[in-house]
Structures are given as C-alpha cells and as structure tokens.
Structure 1
C-alpha cells in the first residue's frame, strides 16, 4: 500500500486545502484505494510566523510545529510535508525531531527551478519573512544562483493578508506589478514562494517571466514519496 503522507498544515487553512486538492489531481488513480492516504493537521493556532520573524515580538512557533510533526508520525505518517514556505525557517528543528523524512519545499523548489531555468537571477514572490531569514537565498546560493525580491515588502505583506482575509482580488495587481519588477530586474523565472500566492497565481495576467509554484513542486515530491510498500 502507499506510504502515508502527513501534512503540517493550517498556515493558512485555504492553502492546506489547495495542497490536498492538487495532490488528489496529481495522483494517478482509478479508485479510492489508489490515492495517497493523508494525515492532516490543519492547525490554525500555530503562532504567527509574521509576528515572530518580521515583527520580532511574537511567540516562537517551533514547539507547536515540532509537536504537530511528532503527532503525525505517531499517527502513522511515513513522510511529512509542510505547505508553507515561511514555516521552513523552522525546518531544521522539525526534521530533527522526527524519525521520518520531512520534504523540504524550499530546497526542492530551488532544484526544480535550476533544472528548468539554469541561468540568471531568480525572482522570489514570497513573504518578507522568507527574505529576512534567507531560506531561498541559501538554497539557491548552494546552486550558484542569486535571488531578487520585490522592493516594497509592505505591499507584498498586504497581498498575503488580503488573500488570508478572503480578498484575493486586492492581491492580484500587487503580484502582477511585483512580477514585472522582477522581470525588469533581470529575472527570467520567479518562484511562487508563498502558498497564499499559490491560491491566486493561476489568475495572474500574462506574467512577463516564467513562474514555478513551490506548492506544485511539493505536490510532485509527495506523489514520488508515497511509493507502494
């Protein structure tokens, strides 16, 4: 049977549901039993990553994320995935606390981008926390690549908050402008590096550069990891 995938979710809840939907669509199946069994902890009470990483005064989410991972493993998950790029700032603690593989969304995405677009700077459309912690910068630096970000962190953060608040239409012009800015800065490819942005990315109008969605990369890795046992 297939290995159980455990999802460390709830960051945010709509993005977790989107991950599950894309995983369902990506799995070759003719019947229920052909699909990947999932254990999902959609914990909306994970302390704010924005408050902790950007504002600097919020509660550290690490203990909650570690506890979620351990609970999923205790429930039978053989592989863990976390459909939140920003939360990968806490990846070492999570991966070090469990005995099963934890798929690294950031490193997998960097590898996918490098394989498909091997030259030039890479644009990052993600939470400012991702820029602050440097998780994508490090992943791409290991591949000899530079990353660039939109200049206005506040506008990017406002787009994330709009999507979380059910006002995705307000985020679209911000993301379209940010994509154009990255292209003007020399990027030919950009990472959709926030799972909230994954919700609206298909609605971006004629982006001036290629887009690789980190959520799709994680979905593909889950399908590959859920091998028959």
Structure 2
C-alpha cells in the first residue's frame, strides 16, 4: 500500500448511476473515522458522452473519445494524481486517453482479471456490453493473464443488453429471473466465477445482494484499488 496521500480523478457519467455507486463503494470501503480520513476525489459526470457501445459496433459515427480525453485532461489540470474510469466499455479507448495525459489511468479490466487470478480461480464468465465483448478487450487481457474464459451465446448476450439498456439504464426494475437464466447458461460451462464487466451490472449485484464469491464486481475491484493507491486502508476485504 502506498503511504503518500493522493487525489483520484474519476471519469464518470457513463452511466451516471454507476458513477454514484462507485463513489459509494469508495466511501463505504474506506477505513475512515472522520471526514478527513476519506479520499480526495475530482469527478466528471459527463452523462452526454456519446454511447461507447454504439460507436464500437458501428451503429453510430459519434466517437466518444474526444470527450473522454477532454475529461481526463480536466482531471489532470484539477490536481488528480491518477485517473479511474467508471465504465468498462470506455476502456476500448484506454490507450488513446492515456496518451493524452501525463498521469496514470488505472485499468478496471486489468485490476479485475488480476483480482480473479489472486483468488486462485481458473475460468471466468464475462458479462459485458456488446461493445466490450465485440472489441475483445476483456478476452485479450484474460489471455495475457492466462485466465480461461467464456462469453454468452448470441441470444443470451442480446438478453443481457436488454437488461443493461432497457432496464438498468432506464431506472426500471430488473428481470432478475432472466438475469439468473443467462448467468446459469455460462456458469454451466465450468466457470469458477462471473465477471460483472459492465458497471450497470454492479448495480444489479448491489441491489440484489449477489454472492461476492461468484460474482466478481469490477466496480468494487476498482474502488478497492483506488483506496489503496490513495494510501488509505480498506475497511474490510472479502477474499
């Protein structure tokens, strides 16, 4: 753990509720007894950023990268020592964003896969948006880290997108039975865990008290890493 006090810059708004959950995770997981024990954060909540998945899969010509770079530069100028992005799919643009700032950006993808490896697990099911899956950004890191993985078949992937975009993002009640059905479809392929590789899925986990051992919440992993990089202690840690 680093002992130097640092400021984290958060690229948020992708979507807005997931950003709120990330901030709650950081606050609730920080071992703090007074206001001054908490982490200093600078946050952008740029909800009007173009949709990442629509651009990646070719449904939109509106590239969100300029906005993401602009926000990263604002965070750097505001005194952030490092940046986190509260969106998995946005990591498709990770290299372009990193090239435009002089402070490090923590990868939610790498931290999540490293966390799984540290638990001694061998195979993960990846639940994520079309953009994340089609770009293979999670799959590539799994290969780099020698972690076996599975992805959903086309029908279940479409069902997951419906849950993410037409239920969670719209603030509607999630069809949890349908969610469990698609989870079971990938769990049955000998997966030790499932990566919640979309921050909207973190909302589902939190709202439904899903098992911490099987459901690997990328937003939770990022929050814990953020606390550590800021030189603070984690209130508790579930192995």
Both proteins in one fold, TM over 0.5: yes
Moved over 6 A (4+): none
Match of 2:168 in 1: 163
**Unpaired runs of 5+ in structure 1?**
none
Please say if residues 127 and 198 of structure 2, whose CA atoms lie closer than 8 Å, have aligned partners that are also in contact. yes
TM-aligned CA deviation for residue 55 of structure 1: 3.8
Query: Compared with structure 1, are the counterparts of its residues 213 and 52 closer, same or farther at alpha carbon in structure 2 (3 Å cutoff)?
Result: same
1:131-155: CA deviation from partner (whole Å, max 9, x where unpaired): 1011110111012223211212211
Mean CA deviation greater in 196-205 or 177-186:
196-205
Q: Distance in 1 between matches of 2:96 and 2:221?
A: 22
Alignment of 1:1-229 (within 5 A): 2-119=5-122, 121-151=123-153, 152=155, 153-161=157-165, 162-170=167-175, 172-204=176-208, 210-227=214-231
Asked if the contact 2:124–2:150 (Cα under 8 Å) also holds between the matched residues in 1, the reply is: yes
SS in structure 2 of the partner of residue 169 of structure 1: coil
Q: Is the 8 A contact 1:3 1:78 kept in 2?
A: yes
TM-score by length of 2: 0.89
Q: 1:117 to 1:173 in 2, by over 3 A?
A: farther
Cα shift readout 1:57-111 (whole Å, capped 9, x = no counterpart): 3311111100100001101111100110000111011111111111100001000
Give structure 2 stretches of 5+ with no counterpart: 233-239
Structure with the bigger RCO (C-alpha within 8 Å, sep 6+) is 2
3-state secondary structure, aligned to 1:148: strand
Structure 2 distance, partners of 1:53, 1:131, is 10
Normalising by structure 1, report the TM-score.
Answer: 0.93
